[in-house]
Structure 1
Amino acid sequence: MKQVLRSGTAIGSHVEEGQASESKKDFIHKYSLALKEARETHYWLRLLAAAEVVPAARLEPITQEANELVAILTTICKKNRE
């Protein structure tokens, strides 16, 4: 449970750092880290549901939001690499 909190909160901190990036390369790096954390958070949420640590129905909205963050951050990273 602590790991999902750590990875989940790291998403926002990396995005904040990206907003203050010193270069496009730094921006992409920070957003790529946010993407990795979002993917990790999505993984932990799915694992918690599968292991029935937390009811899947309770985790569904958060899991969906994590999935949407992965999609958004993926798009941002891809567009800025072009």
Structure 2
Amino acid sequence: MRSGTSIGANISEAVRGQSSKDFIHKLQISRKETSETLYWLTLLQKTNYLKPDTAIILIQSCEELLKILTSIIKTLELKIKN
């Protein structure tokens, strides 16, 4: 629960970042929290704590969020370098 809710909190902080570097840094934290959440969801799936359909949807959503955050971070890092 903690890592999952931290994702949104850090994205919200990123939007109000003081600079481009601060924005990227907060998104990187969100990405790390998303990775942790993916770990926990996978663990909950393997222990049958979550219903299989629910686990699949949550894991796929988490993986998609990881891709989105990674893409945003890479794009912004390239813009800062150029």
TM-score of the two chains, using structure 1 as the length reference? 0.90
The CA distance in 2 between the partners of 1:20 and 1:66, in whole Å, is 23
2:43 is aligned, of 26, 41, 47, to 47
Partners of 1:7 and 1:40 within 8 A in 2:
yes
Partners of 1:50 and 1:56 within 8 A in 2:
no
Q: What residue identity is the alignment partner of 1:19?
A: V
Identity across aligned pairs (percent)?
40
2:30 is aligned, of 24, 29, 34, to 34
Q: Which ranges in structure 2 are unaligned for 5 or more consecutive residues? A: none
Q: Which ranges in structure 1 are unaligned for 5 or more consecutive residues? A: none
Structure 1: 4+ residue segments shifted above 3 A: none
1:71 is aligned, of 51, 67, 70, to 67
Q: CA RMSD in A?
A: 0.9
**Residue in 2 aligned with 1:23?**
19
1:11 is aligned, of 7, 11, 25, to 7
Equivalent pairs counted in the alignment come to: 78
